[in-house]
Every structure is written in C-alpha cells, then in structure tokens.
Amino acid sequence: MTFRIDTGIPRVWRTPHSLQYGIDEPLAVLERVSVGHERMLELLTVGTPRTGLEAMGSQHGLTTREVDEFIATLGPVLATPAPSITRPRVVLTGNSPTAGQIARLLASGGCRVARVGDTNELRSTPADLGIAVGHFVLSPELHGAWLRRDIPHLPVVFGDRTVRVGPLVEPGLGPCLYCLERFRTDADPAWPAIASQLWGRRSPLESALLAAEVAVLAARLALERLAGAPSDPAASIAARATESITIDTRGRRVDERHEVHPECGCNGWGEVIALPRKARPARARRGTATARAPRAARNATTSRAAADAPA
C-alpha cells in the first residue's frame, strides 16, 4: 500500500517543532517534529510504501513503533485512492448565460455535460439526469422525453418577476412537468393562450448576478441528486421531487410544494403525493410553465409553503 499526504490540505507550522494540517478544523498535529519526521513527510508528499517510511525512519533513529505512531497521527490527511467510477452524464437544454454557467459548474464537479437542442438528440442522448433552462415556458417536447426513459430532470424557468428552480422530477415518484401544466390551467383557464404568446420570448431577469445564483443552486441540486446524498439531511429525493425554489431579483427565496395532478397518468391511477401540513394552496404563479403552441398549453400551479421568509 502506498501512503501519500493529500496536498490539498493546508499545512502550517505552529511552532518551530510543531506541525498542523488543516486550518478551520485541524485534522492532524505533529508535536516534536524531528529531522527524521521531516524526511518522512517529504516521502509522503509524493507517495511511498510503509517500507520506505520504515527505512527512512530507521536511518534517522526512529523505531518501528514511532513510525507506526507517525502514520496513525497523519491518518486523517492521508489520501485514499480514488475508486474507478463512471462520470455521470447530464443532458442540458437551453441557450442562455445561465445554461452555460450550469454546464461549467457541472463539468467542474466531474460530470459529462451534453448540451442539446434538437428533439431527436434530446430523446436519444444517454443521460443520468436532465436539466432544462427556459424563459417563461418550456418546450412541450420535454413533457415525456425524459419521463419515458425514467431520467430525473430539473426545470429552471425565468419569469418576469422570479425564477423557479425545480421540482426535480422523479419519474414515478412525484409530479411531472405536465402535472404542473394541468394545475396551472386549472387555476387560470386563459393560461394556454398566454403561454403560446410567450413562446420564444426572453425574460429581462437574466442578469449576471441572478444567473450566477440560479446556476449555483441548479448545479448543487443536480450534483446532490447524482451523488444520492443531499447536503441537507431533510432534503431527500422524495422531498426534492415535490418542491421547487423561487428566487427574486433581490435573492429572496420561497419554497413551494407540488403534487401529482389527479388527471395525469405519470404515476398510475391518479396517485397523489401527500403535502406537509403547513403547505397551502397558492394562486397561480408565473415562471414554471411549458408551452404548447398553437394548442392549449399544459400549465401548472403549485401549493405554496407557508414560510415566505428569505432563505
């Protein structure tokens, strides 16, 4: 086995003879650092087997036990070999600065990102997760393109007052994009006509600041879903599948809850996901929609969480 110190962890001298790894939370502290310890640290910077450390320690008068204690102390800062894994694949639709930032963030997080615009390409490109970025309305082609292939997907839609991120659609678990459309039409029968007029329009909200904030949020949700480990323990996959986050130009956030539409067949015979007790019906809001032109658009409404305070 090869031992190597994780060079990404900061190293500082506490005193001329005391060494510390980690700043905010010290991970390892070496007291009474000798020349032999320094030589072993040099070996650990590039990587060495235990026999190399024992030989170097012996050369400078250190016993096998002292070398073992040295290795044990440095345990928290020793790098572990990265497992051989396949990089997750994300398909991203949308041509905007926000979409570009999301793509770069996901790539830096280890994802393979494919940006597509063609319908056939959207349906055929392999993906572990999809993200759709749009203005006012999303293409109706997105309703089933990922749903039929059991691919989780995240809508990001800029309105004229707010941006909505989510819900992170989980096929068979929560509401789909068409569910959102049906609820919105229920709340406002004129919405199909309105949505058809918004097709192709650009929102004035996509400033550099808001685009960056939305991109970070969307990328974090995507990476957490791909890793299967949300940073917030309460934010389970099931919870993400029924909630969205709305952001306004001042950065204020509002969480909203969504449910499966009883007339949508995405979850079988009208299965409805139970909402938290605090959730209450909300008036129709602009921002999360898909356009179906020239026919009636599929539209959405949401059940809005009671807490309207900024995040």
Domain co-membership, 256 together with 285: yes
Does 278 have pLDDT greater than 70? Answer: no
Q: Which of 44, 77, 110 is the last residue of a domain?
A: 77
DSSP string, 194-251: HHHHHTT---TT--HHHHHHHHHHHHHHHHHHHHT--SSTT--HHHHTTEEEEEETT-
**Of 266, 296, 305, 271, which Cα lies nearest the Cα of 179?**
266
Q: What is the pLDDT of residues 102-141, one digit of tens each?
A: 999 999 999 999 999 877 788 889 999 999 999 998 888 8
Question: In this structure, what CATH number is given to the domain that contains residue 103?
Answer: 3.40.50.720
**Of 176, 304, 309, 300, which Cα lies nearest the Cα of 250?**
309
- Please report, as a single letter, which amino acid is at residue 200: G
Count of structural domains, the chain: 2
CA distances from 47 to 12, 69, 80, 114, 123 (A): 20, 18, 11, 36, 46
Domain co-membership, 123 together with 9: no
Q: Residue 236 falls within a domain, yes or no?
A: yes
- Please report, as a single letter, which amino acid is at residue 189: P
Domain co-membership, 157 together with 269: yes
The whole-chain average pLDDT of the chain stands at 82
- Is residue 119 within 8 A of residue 232, CB to CB? The reply is no
> Is residue 149 helix, strand or coil?
helix
Model-level pTM?
A: 0.66
7 or 20, which is more confident? 20
Q: What is the pLDDT of residues 180-218, one digit of tens each?
A: 988 989 999 998 899 889 888 999 999 999 999 999 999
Domain co-membership, 252 together with 175: yes
